[in-house]
Structure 1
Amino acid sequence: MRTADNGGIPGSPRASQWGGEAARTSPAAPRCPAPPPFPHSKSPAPRGGGGAQTRLAPGAWAAAGGAGSVRARAQGGSRAMPAALSALWLLLAAAFLAALLLELLQAPRGGPRPGLFQDLLRYGKTKSGCGQRPAWLRLLDVPKRWFSHFYILSVVWNGLLLLLLIQALFLARPFPIWLRDLLSALGGASQNQDVGDKHLSALLVLMLLWLHSFRRLIECLCISVFSSGFLHIVQYCFGLGYYIVIGLTVLCQVPANVSNGKVVNLSHSIPFGDWFERVSCPHYFAELLIYVSMAITFGFQNLTWWLVVMYVLFNQALAAVLCHEFYVNNFSCYPTCRKAFIPFLF
């Protein structure tokens, strides 16, 4: 059985949806020399190979000291730059954590009330949990089937970044000026300047991200059957922006240097089997594991990517809570032993 996409809050890539949406029968979809100096990094100045000692004129010591000071200030400034990128992911993680906590606190008090906040959190079938929505909010709806746009953008954009990275690593071709300027503005991975083995790690992570997006695009176009659900236009724009920033975040870690089936029905049902016996949304849990594996690939000391993982954790937890709430409210026989997101825990 294949079912329609339930997706996460737009902006977090989705693992395939196995239950809860319109279903179609189909087979399981397939899952998902030393490198040259990095093009937007500065190679270290060559050291002298020995020979006669060089004496500086009296005023040259000040000049040399001044140059060293400028270099130190420049390096200090570049170390501060990644703070912006890390702050972005920290802010997103904190925002989704706050939304998750508010949702959990609201549940015992009779459920959510219609409004902009709930409209920005919910999408698809979970929007029905807010009752009648104001007409002005419905004007900002876009079809949920536009989820495929996220993966089209990701395949094209992150595919381009992957191609440019491969050319930089193996053909010694520098990044285009616009990309070098953009990476420099984002910080250019100065947190890893002294680590020389991040080039291939970034290549592997970017390749996995591209394959993940390509798999999701195939699922959206060939497997999923979307119901008449909606996204808020802000969610849609956020999702597009996410796939642009996530690829750039990968590059910033580099040292600055299915056959068709028949639609069975368009109604929701209780999913069963495998991890669904333990949690309502195992696909969201699998999504978290994907990003944890990427973080491990970069190394446990990479703060920025672990902030990405934190964002995905709270993002998917919120989506899982809303989905679990939908199942519990709409199916009186829904298994009480199932957790929402993480088996046996949450």
Structure 2
Amino acid sequence: MELGIVWLVRVAWIAAILPMVIASIPNSKLTSFHQLVLGFARRGKILQPSSSSQKWTLPQKHFAHFYVLGVAWTTLLLAATWMYAFKMTPFQHRFEVWRAVFLLLLMEIQVLRRLLESFYVFKYSPSARMSILGYLAGLFFYTAAPLSLCVNIAPEVVTFAAKSHTSSALEFDLLSSLIPLVKLGWCQLIGAAVFMWGWLHQRRCHAILGSLRESPSQVKEYIIPHGDWFEIVSSPHYLAEIVLYAGLLIASGGTDATIWLLFGFVVWNLTLAAGETHRWYLRKFENYPANRNAIFPFVY
């Protein structure tokens, strides 16, 4: 059962990554496919109202649905895995279980902030839309990403949770359950530091984007953002997301292929979206800063 779940999640990530990889191949025969894939990635300002696929779109404010799902699902996985780690007797892969708790805790910090931002920071234009397939991809991501952080031990946790449900109530000592988390290895500490670096910069960049539409008169206007990593790339919030998922990868120890696939999806997806955003800025503003790259400073 364990291998079945692991490979199911891995195949799902591969199936999600492969179209983006193919679309990135510079071949004229793939132009139509390239445009098709980009159509799924376009949203907001880069999804023009005149698009023939406009009827297959949803309001961009539905982004909040991703984070409601992400918070609910991550909290469930975190609570079950943490309780399992706390109650299990010591055995060989105890460290792996506590590491999964640590990764899910970081993910919880991320999805909670994104949920709050979707309600209190971002002010989407009434005309801002996103592809229905992009919407489904978002729901897939916030289901598969938290699961990928603990998929190797998920069957054990499910079995434990089922048994606990039929047994007497379990006692949970929060202080005692925190001690193993602070005794994890250097990979977890370094990974958490990288994660928080990306997390803080994404928070700042989102605040900058949100501030561009503080008044009702700005709702339908687009302004060149400035500040923080916006001075070097057009989509610093995407760069920050790649950084924080790199932190999760480091914290995982880098030995799990599932988390590598999760990271690969994040990189490919956000790189494609950032490229489209950068080209839109160049078309929209004649005075757009020439020193900015799309997402990776001095590279792309």
- TM surpasses 0.5: yes
Moved more, 80-89 or 209-218: 80-89
Distance 1:331 1:246, change over 3 A: same
1:152 to 35, 51, 68: 68
1:275 to 224, 229, 244: 229
Structure 1 residue 93 and structure 2 residue 52: aligned?
no
Q: Deviation at 1:105?
A: 7.1
1:120 to 29, 36, 40: 40
Distance 1:105 1:326, change over 3 A: farther
Report the identity percentage: 28
Q: Distance in 2 between matches of 1:341 and 1:232?
A: 22
2:115 to 188, 213, 217: 217
CA offsets, 1:13-34, max 9 Å, x none?
xxxxxxxxxxxxxxxxxxxxxx
Contact 1:93/1:312 (<8 A) preserved: no
1:237 alignment partner in structure 2: 136
Q: How does 1:1-346 map to 2 (within 5 A)?
A: 82-101=6-25, 117-128=37-48, 132-134=50-52, 137-172=53-88, 195-227=93-125, 228-254=127-153, 257=156, 262-263=214-215, 265-266=218-219, 267-346=221-300
Distance 1:309 1:125, change over 3 A: same
Q: Deviation at 1:244?
A: 1.3
Q: Say which SS state the counterpart of residue 206 (structure 1) adopts.
A: helix
Distance 1:127 1:169, change over 3 A: same
Q: Deviation at 1:139?
A: 2.5
Contact 2:2/2:152 (<8 A) preserved: no
Q: Distance in 2 between matches of 1:243 and 1:255?
A: 16
The amino acid across from 2:218 in the alignment is N
What CA RMSD, in Å, does the superposition of the two structures yield over aligned residues? 3.1
Contact 1:278/1:338 (<8 A) preserved: yes
Q: Deviation at 1:241?
A: 2.0
Q: Distance in 2 between matches of 1:323 and 1:101?
A: 19
Moved more, 301-310 or 212-221: 301-310
1:24 alignment partner in structure 2: none
Q: Deviation at 1:94?
A: 2.5
Q: Say which SS state the counterpart of residue 223 (structure 2) adopts.
A: coil
Distance 1:300 1:149, change over 3 A: same
Contact 2:23/2:37 (<8 A) preserved: no
Q: Distance in 2 between matches of 1:219 and 1:297?
A: 25
The amino acid across from 1:97 in the alignment is V
The amino acid across from 2:222 in the alignment is H
Contact 1:196/1:255 (<8 A) preserved: no
Q: RCO greater where, 1 or 2, for CA within 8 Å and sep 6 or more?
A: 1
Q: Distance in 2 between matches of 1:79 and 1:161?
A: 18
Q: Distance in 1 between matches of 2:3 and 2:101?
A: 23
- TM-score (normalised: structure 2): 0.71
CA offsets, 1:251-277, max 9 Å, x none?
21338659x984261211111122111
The amino acid across from 1:278 in the alignment is I
Contact 2:67/2:112 (<8 A) preserved: yes
- TM-score (normalised: structure 1): 0.62
